[in-house]
Amino acid sequence: MSVRRQAGVVLANTGLEVKRLYSDRDDRVLFADLCFQLDAGQLVQIAGPNGSGKTSLLRILAGLSSRYEGEVLWQGKSLLKQRHEYLQQLLYIGHGAGIKAVLSPLENLRWSCALRGLNNNDDKILSALEKVGLSGFEEQACHSLSAGQQRRVNLARLFCIPASLWVLDEPFTAIDQRGVTEIERWLSEFVSEGGAVLLTTHHRLSFAHEFKIVTLGEAANV
């Protein structure tokens, strides 16, 4: 619970603002003049067909890519000037596996937590693993898990690492239907507690609250 409280304190003036963002690949413009805002307690879905630049956008916003022009503001200031504070609030789950295949889910999450300065919180990790439906698999090497189970290990980070901004790239990949519903519920809970979520997905979200959709690609140009 301390997590949420800690997050809550900062949430007051959470706010990611994208101003006139431009990015291209091989002379093909992915997006230009992109502007949107994401406040605490909001969810923004980035939509668009394959290859429209959703992943590229998310990587820029996570600070992993500098292939852009324009501004990204966090709490009113440029991201580049307060990387450290921003990272403290950010939880990014990308396309990739995000886990070491030879290690068990427990070991993987222990390491993930240590990276965020959280040590000795096995209890929280175990409860997170239970939440994502992996109880019984805590000690098994990840490479012997199915595609969906591996994805779930990665998603378990949502529950062990305190953050006020989740950036998720296709979190539903390989997840079964019941799992999708559950994740949607978690997102909903997080948002209603004041968290901010930015995600891409090709699913049609059934989300309790209202949410914004930012569309990239051809659809956006029409």
Partner 1 sequence: MSISSTFHKWGSPRWFYQFSGKLLPWLAGLSLLLLVGGVIWGLAFVPADYKQGNSFRIIYIHVPASAVAMGAYMTMAIAGAIHLIWRMKLAAMVMKAIAPIGASLTFLALLTGAVWGKPTWGTWWVWDARITSVLILFFLYLGIIALHQAFENRDAAAKACAVLAIVGAVNIPIIYWSVEWWYSLHQPASISFTGQSTIHPTMLRPLMATLSGMYLFFTWVLLLFVRVEILDRERNTRWVQDQICGESR
Partner 2 sequence: MSDSGLAKLVVAVLRRDVMASLRRGSEWSNPLVFFVMVCALFPLGIGPQPDRLAELAPGILWVVALLASLLATDSLFRGDFDDATLEQMLLSHQPLYPQVLAKTLAHWLMTGLPLSILSPVLGVLLQLPAKGMLALMVSLLLGTTVLSFIGAIGAALTVGLRKGGLLLSLIVLPLYIPVLIFGSSAVKSAVEGGEYFPQLAMLGVFYLVALALSPLAICGALRISVDQ
Q: Does 55 bind Mg ion (CB under 5 A)?
A: yes
Residue from the set 149, 157, 164, 183 that interacts with a second copy by CB under 8 A:
149
Query: Which residues lie near partner 1 (CB under 8 A)?
Result: 22, 29, 32-33, 66-67, 69, 144
User: 72-91: which residues touch a second copy (CB under 8 A)?
Assistant: none
User: 167-206: which residues touch ligand ATP (CB under 6 A)?
Assistant: 174, 176
Residue from the set 54, 110, 151, 152 that interacts with partner 2 by CB under 8 A:
110
Amino acid residing at 208: A
> Distance between CA 121 and CA 115 in Å, rounded?
13
Q: Which residues pair with 55 in a beta bridge?
A: none
Residue from the set 99, 168, 175, 199 that interacts with partner 2 by CB under 8 A:
99
Contacts of 132 (CB under 8 A, 6+ apart): 152, 153, 155, 156, 159, 179
Side-chain-facing half-sphere of 88: CA atoms under 13 Å: 12
Q: Does 180 bind a second copy (CB under 8 A)?
A: yes
Choice between 80 and 147, CB closer to a second copy: 147
Which of 68, 133, 128, 57 shows the shortest CA–CA distance to 95? 57
Distance in Å, CB of 169 to partner 2, minimum: 10
